Amino acid sequence: MSNTITVGLLGLGTVGGGVIHILKEHQKEISHKIGCEVEIKSVLVHDMKKVRDVGIDPAHMTDQYEDVTRDPDIDVVVEVMGGIEHTFSILMDAINHQKHIVTANKDLVAQYGAELFQASQENQCDFYYEASVAGGIPIIRSIMDGLSSDRITKMMGIVNGTTNYILTKMSKEGSDFDHVLKEAQELGFAEADPTSDVDGLDAARKMTILSILGFSMPLNLEDVSVKGIRGLSISDIRYAEQLGYCLKLIGIADNNEHGVSVSVEPTLLPKDHPLTSVNDEYNAVYVHGEAVGETMFYGPGAGQLPTATAIVSDLIAVIKNVRLGTTGAGYVNPQFGKKLKPKQASLTKKYLRLHVHDQPGMLMEMTQIFAEYDISFDQIIQLPTDTPEERELMMITHQVDEERFGKALEDLNKLETVRSVDSVFRVEGGQS
């Protein structure tokens, strides 16, 4: 057996540089754990002329992916270049040339995971992707290995650092969404195009991956109900605090006898909930198992070295499998067919904020609609506005199914006394 495992690196951006840094700085520890040396032989880059200070000989760089995917001397391909369609083609080429894969690409795994896993099995290759969800938090390995003997019934968490940073700043400083978003972009916490983050798509992809693993069910991104934080009002954050809650963008995956529901949406959490203390760019995932009960995994959700740490940990796992001769055996096809929870079986509490015309009978009209759909309330606050003839109402319901609540909301919008329904959020925790 060779005393050296050779690696091909696809991409040399921030995370790629972090992978090289860790492999060099932790070389002795890594070699001791796996019993061999690790050598980066080739690195795919976009611009061969760009000067890079990452300690890689330019002679090992290439702008042709085939130099990496088809090199018979390369054992493992590490993908940190991002992208979906083109990257999928490159990784399929690598797998078909018997390369093991380590990736941090959540978009790719969420969209093409099934095809990549199947190809890896057919070629007896490993496919690892720990860094695709929650950066440096080992949540995927925990679900696949640490909690494999349990039956997971619910997962919820903060899985996008950008939106959590924005909401933290809004809460602590009272700044509006647009101001904090601009600041986050200037500091590098948010991309120039923040769509994927603030509209909840990034978190939805991560929840798709976690749900497939946690529930052993072939779910897709299209199965996730998504609502982001774009334009979220500072008023909602302040009113949530008055009601005893904290507002966070939460991914929630729930599995019971009625089926599975997966969502990403702004959610009110009780102030004593563990996730309310997760601030700035940090991530946390809360997992409930029938046997173990509640567990929470917390840590940096992004960043050069946290993400690179997860990648190198996957690389170490692959190398151990190579030396044991057990590659390609780790992936297990989903056990259950897809079963999505119908709306009438999805029970949640709801927060509403609306502006109404202050006139006799206004509350009675609203109460009659909610009574018709058997919806009761946990809290109601009525406040004056700058317009004397208007009032602002904040309401938190008791548990109600999505179907009944949706119909009540439609009827509510038809009332002449309701000027606008400004916010509708999910509420987790507290009394049902």
| Same domain assignment for residues 147 and 268 | yes
Within-domain flag for 331: no
Query: What is d(CA 214, CA 149) in angstroms, rounded to the nearest whole number?
Result: 11
| Same domain assignment for residues 387 and 422 | yes
| Same domain assignment for residues 160 and 57 | no
208, 223 contact by CB (below 8 A):
yes
Q: Is the pTM of this model over 0.85?
A: yes
Beta-bridged to residue 185, according to DSSP, are none
Query: What is d(CA 166, CA 280) in angstroms, rounded to the nearest whole number?
Result: 7
Contacts of 221 by beta carbon, 8 Å cutoff, 6+ apart: 110, 111, 204, 205, 208
| Same domain assignment for residues 256 and 308 | no
Query: What is d(CA 239, CA 242) in angstroms, rounded to the nearest whole number?
Result: 5
Query: What is d(CA 239, CA 394) in angstroms, rounded to the nearest whole number?
Result: 8
Q: How many CB atoms lie within 10 A of CB 368?
A: 12
Contacts of 122 by beta carbon, 8 Å cutoff, 6+ apart: none
| Same domain assignment for residues 85 and 166 | no
CATH number, domain of 156, equals 3.30.360.10
Within-domain flag for 334: no
Query: What is d(CA 159, CA 170) in angstroms, rounded to the nearest whole number?
Result: 18
Buried b or exposed e, range 49-66, using 16+ CB within 10 angstroms? eeebeeebeeeebbeebe
**What secondary structure does DSSP assign to 334-354, as a single string?**
-SS---BPPGGG-EEEEEEEE
Helices then strands, each counted (H, E), the chain = 14, 17
| Same domain assignment for residues 376 and 239 | no
Q: Please report which residue ranges of 159-228 form alpha helices under DSSP H.
A: 161-173, 177-187, 195-198, 201-215
pLDDT, position 359: 86
Q: How many CA atoms lie within 13 A of 395 on its CB side?
A: 22
pLDDT, position 185: 87
| Same domain assignment for residues 318 and 403 | no
Whether 49 sits among the annotated catalytic residues: the reply is no
| Same domain assignment for residues 173 and 275 | yes
CATH number, domain of 126, equals 3.40.50.720
Buried b or exposed e, range 264-300, using 16+ CB within 10 angstroms? bbbbbbbeebebbebbebbbbbbbbbeeeeeeebbbb
Within-domain flag for 398: yes
pLDDT, position 22: 95
Element (H, E) at 5: strand 4-10
pLDDT, position 62: 96
CATH number, domain of 359, equals 3.30.70.260
34, 317 contact by CB (below 8 A):
no
The whole domain housing 108 covers: 4-135+304-324
Please, what is the Cα angle at 341 between 337 and 344, to 5 degrees?
Answer: 155
Contacts of 68 by beta carbon, 8 Å cutoff, 6+ apart: 8, 9, 10, 42, 43, 44, 62, 74, 77, 94
State the Cα torsion 178-183-189-195 to the nearest 10°: 20
Within-domain flag for 338: no
Please, what is the Cα angle at 292 between 290 and 295, to 5 degrees?
Answer: 110
Query: What is d(CA 87, CA 93) in angstroms, rounded to the nearest whole number?
Result: 10
306, 323 contact by CB (below 8 A):
no
Give the end of a domain, one of 268, 300, 332: 300
Within-domain flag for 399: yes
| Same domain assignment for residues 276 and 320 | no
**End-to-end CA, the chain:** 60
Please identify which of the residues 169, 206, 248, 350 carries the catalytic annotation: 206
Q: How many domains in the chain?
A: 3
Within-domain flag for 159: yes
Within-domain flag for 10: yes
| Same domain assignment for residues 291 and 308 | no
Tell me the three-class secondary structure of 34-47, residue by residue: HCCEEEEEEEECCC
| Same domain assignment for residues 363 and 269 | no
Q: Which pLDDT tens digits describe the chain residue by residue (432 residues)?
A: 568 999 999 999 989 999 999 999 999 999 999 999 999 999 999 988 888 877 788 889 999 999 999 999 999 999 999 999 999 999 999 999 999 999 999 999 999 999 999 999 999 999 999 999 988 899 999 999 889 999 999 999 999 999 999 999 999 999 999 999 998 888 877 888 999 999 999 999 999 999 999 999 999 999 999 999 998 999 999 999 999 999 999 999 999 999 999 999 999 999 999 999 999 989 999 999 999 999 999 998 878 888 999 999 999 999 999 999 999 887 888 899 999 999 899 999 999 999 999 888 888 899 999 999 999 999 999 999 888 889 999 999 999 999 999 999 999 999 999 999 999 999 998 665
Sign, CA dihedral 37-38-40-41, equals: positive
Within-domain flag for 105: yes
| Same domain assignment for residues 283 and 308 | no
